[in-house]
Amino acid sequence: MVHAISLPPGEFGGGFVDDLFLGRLEAAAHPSFEEICRLRVSAHFLVGRGGGVTQYVPVMKRAWHAGVSSWEGRERCNDFSVGVELEGDAKTPFTGLQYEALTTLVAVLSRRLAGLCPDRIVGHQDVAPGRKWDPGPCFDWSHFRGLLRRGVALPAWEPVWE
């Protein structure tokens, strides 16, 4: 499941996303953090603007990224999905490096997750319509799916699975 996040809203690279996912976001750091600093939220991965990938939760463990959600008749998508956050917002195009990193990450995950195929990669807005907007209008699904079809050379690294 593809998401988008920026903290503070519309700002990138400050390390606040790490703080949120690690449960150490300080309310006093920015006015917008007061309402989110106590949330229990995480993702399996974050893809930064420069294409760097950070893993927060082992792939086979539950991350708290989808909230109230449903996909193909199944509720509670956190129970069966991998959450990938892209550092971004609804107004800023994602970078080429982010698309490349996301494509590589999907290829790496596909080595062990047999059911992972392009038509099973969805956005947060697809599983929580009307409640969530991300990854939003700036995420180019056709470009991303084209990259998936083209394929990538698989890196030697492996995510943490268990």
Q: For residue range 52-95, what is the model confidence (pLDDT) as tens digits?
A: 999 999 999 999 999 999 999 999 999 999 999 999 999 999 99
For this structure, is 72 an active site residue? Answer: no
Architecture of domain 2-150: 3-Layer(aba) Sandwich (3.40)
Residue 51's pLDDT band, with cuts at 50, 70 and 90, is: very high
Contact 87, 12 (CB under 8 A): yes
Give the pLDDT confidence score for residue 75 in this predicted structure: 97
Contact 122, 2 (CB under 8 A): yes
Give the pLDDT confidence score for residue 86 in this predicted structure: 98
- Identified catalytic residue from 75, 85, 100, 158: 85
Give the pLDDT confidence score for residue 9 in this predicted structure: 97
Distance set, CA 150 to CA 52, 53, 101, 104 (Å):
21, 21, 14, 11
Give the pLDDT confidence score for residue 84 in this predicted structure: 98
Contact 159, 53 (CB under 8 A): no
CA–CA separation, 79 and 155 (whole Å): 27
Residue 29's pLDDT band, with cuts at 50, 70 and 90, is: very high
For the whole model, what pTM was predicted?
0.96
β-strands 84-87, 45-47: how paired? parallel
